[in-house]
Structure 1
């Protein structure tokens, strides 16, 4: 019996689904990271900071499902990618994990004592729990675009070049830091847009709108600088050996070599792909305008579209490459050479079709139940708030 969906198509579908999960992570968990990155600056009094915290606290934890789904999808659909990235970038991921662990602890303990120093320290812990993951996720994307220093032997065992400490330092280069700052700017924009829908009008609200509009403009500038860097720095990789899309997964079947500006080749071959960067720029511009005009929902929608455009730009520019090797042309991971089996991808797709709509419907119901604005007077008068 012939399968309903052929192997090459399933591979592309899962490449697209991975992109959808990463976009969902950026939009849903991104607003919590961005909002907490704003906390020490937008909230000047204890009441204002409590209002900011309680705008995010009821929903941030549920948004971790996007992180779990993304990691699970990589593990199950792209095992080679999981093995290389989670081992080679181990210290960076541990840094993100530590920051994410710090965030719920800070939420719980921040208002347990009335002392100013106690609360200020936990506020900075919440800032770290938002800022560090936002920065490191962007740095990780920059390292993917730059190529990771790994190679596979004849038994497909992975070796990551460089020591553990040096491998962490290698993650931070001018280009990867640019990607990290772009990530911080766009998530702060997203956080401000979310807070625009949740905060009652007041001085903290006004500060959030100001910082958010500045972050949106910075997103445009940094995204444009990233394009210039890719265009003129010689950054890029391209496949030079023909790969059979329906062949068995074996990364050593492909040959991928560095090529100046190759990350822009797909946009020349498929002009429709320019919709990704266009959406990134236009969404950020509309978000900046909406925040200046105090239009909360349009700002959040425009910011979300900008994030979707920026994340999709990375994926579209790299296709069919998922993770290039900077040291071995025969070790790069492609859509056609690094996936799980046909049966595995088919079963996973069936499970996704059944359960992903349930997750989305439940999430929508939760946000409907928790709809409403948070004010300084409300959180200050009740001990039940963080």
Structure 2
């Protein structure tokens, strides 16, 4: 849910050529961005509850990367709320670039993190399951991880461009469509390049020992080896998973065609399908690994040996079944009530109440 408004923030300084146009862009996401960002908090809490070992290892080992995301996100609430309060071009331009940082940096870092998962993260456990991380922030910025960051950044910016095309008109919409064409093409090319690189040069992880899904979690109780082409084993074993990368590329192409023909709402859902397909492609390749270890492959965390208790998972299941439909309902209602085109005339007529 926080994808399209981060894409809008990334495009803000480029799609809006003057103050009024930039206020139009901001007002397309202004009423919703804070509700969308709650999903970040939910994601962190869900990882803590469902996979406590993953939470402890990732949030401590990748501490500086997480802080970089947090620092970038600081620009968003202040930028949205205070950007238009002062009639000073330098003030507003500064916060426009702040909103750009808040929109562009988190997807890039999350993509870099995914790229490092495929290569393995340098951590290990002692006999008391206390993790030790031996990497550094700069080591995360390796070539494949940066390519994965390009995939993430491009697909989020593409999603934001399609959303802008749906919520605006005139010159802003035209620029958004041009941005969608560029970032859609970049998404497909970088996604294909990352898959080819993964196939040719990065060995995957394979569990050789027997797995008892009902046993107590113990990340040190298995044997793991690295093997060329192993990241594609699930696709060979389950051909239906090929629908995921097809959805990723097909969703981008469909969104571009639909947007060019004026069917921007359908294009938005197609771009959402593309994001689900791309993320799903990475998830299907990694399964059952959640956080592989390059330092001690046997300590790699999987969906079975890093999971929380059955009681915790049952509580999470029932909470999701009860509250998720309510969240979907009121979020859909909010988007419907505050939908429609945002125009320069609207911003001028509501200069004191609009963002």
Both structures adopt the same fold (TM-score exceeding 0.5): yes
Are the aligned partners of 2:165 and 2:174 in contact in 1 as well (CA < 8 Å)?
A: no
Q: Identify the residue that residue 192 of structure 1 maps to in structure 2.
A: 161
In 2, Cα distance between the equivalents of 1:360 and 1:299?
20
SS at match of 2:65: helix
What is the Cα deviation at residue 51 of structure 1? Answer: 0.1
Task: Give the equivalent residue in structure 2 for 1:35.
Answer: 8
Highest relative contact order (Cα 8 Å, sep 6+), 1 or 2? 1
Aligned positions of 1:159-174 closer than 5 A: 159-162=132-135, 167-174=136-143
Q: Which residue of 2 aligns with 1:105?
A: 78
* TM-score, normalised by the number of residues in structure 1: 0.90
Corresponding residue for 2:179?
211
- Cα deviations by residue, 1:113-144 (Å, 9 ceiling, x for unpaired): 22211111110000000000111111111111
Q: 2: CA distance between counterparts of 1:113 and 1:105?
A: 13
Equivalent position SS for 1:159: strand
Deviations 1:287-312 (A, max 9, x none): 12223333211210110000000011
> Which runs of 5 or more structure 2 residues have no equivalent in the other structure?
none
2:39 is aligned to 66
Counterpart for residue 345 of structure 2? 377
1:267-306 pair list within 5 angstroms: 267-306=235-274
Q: Deviations along 1:127-164, whole A, 9 cap, x unmatched?
A: 000000111111111111111100001110000014xx
Question: Which ranges in structure 1 are unaligned for 5 or more consecutive residues?
Answer: 1-27
Name the CA distance, whole Å, in 1 between partners of 2:297 and 2:157. Answer: 37
- Say if 1:150 and 1:328, in contact at 8 Å, map to a contact too: yes
Alignment partner of 1:52 is 2:25: yes
Q: Which residue of 1 aligns with 2:324?
A: 356
Shift of 1:362: 1.3
Partner of 1:7: none
| Aligned residue runs from structure 1 range 114-263, under 5 A | 114-162=87-135, 167-199=136-168, 201-263=169-231
Paired residue total: 354
Q: Deviation per CA, 1:38-85, whole angstroms, max 9, x where unpaired?
A: 011111011110000010110011012221221111100100110111
The aligned residue for residue 12 of structure 1 is none
Is 1:78 the counterpart of 2:51? The answer is yes
Is the CA contact 2:244–2:281 (under 8 Å) kept in the aligned structure 1? yes
SS at match of 1:257: strand
Aligned partners of 2:119 and 2:202 also within 8 Å? no
**Partner SS, residue 238 of structure 1:** strand
Find the residue that maps to 2:132 and give its secondary structure.
Answer: strand
C-alpha distance in 2 between matches for 1:58 and 1:234: 43
Q: Deviation per CA, 1:200-248: give whole Å up to 9, x if none.
A: x211111011101211111111110011001101332111222211111
Look up the SS of the partner of 1:253 in the other structure. coil
RMSD: 1.1
Cα deviation, residue 255, structure 1: 2.2
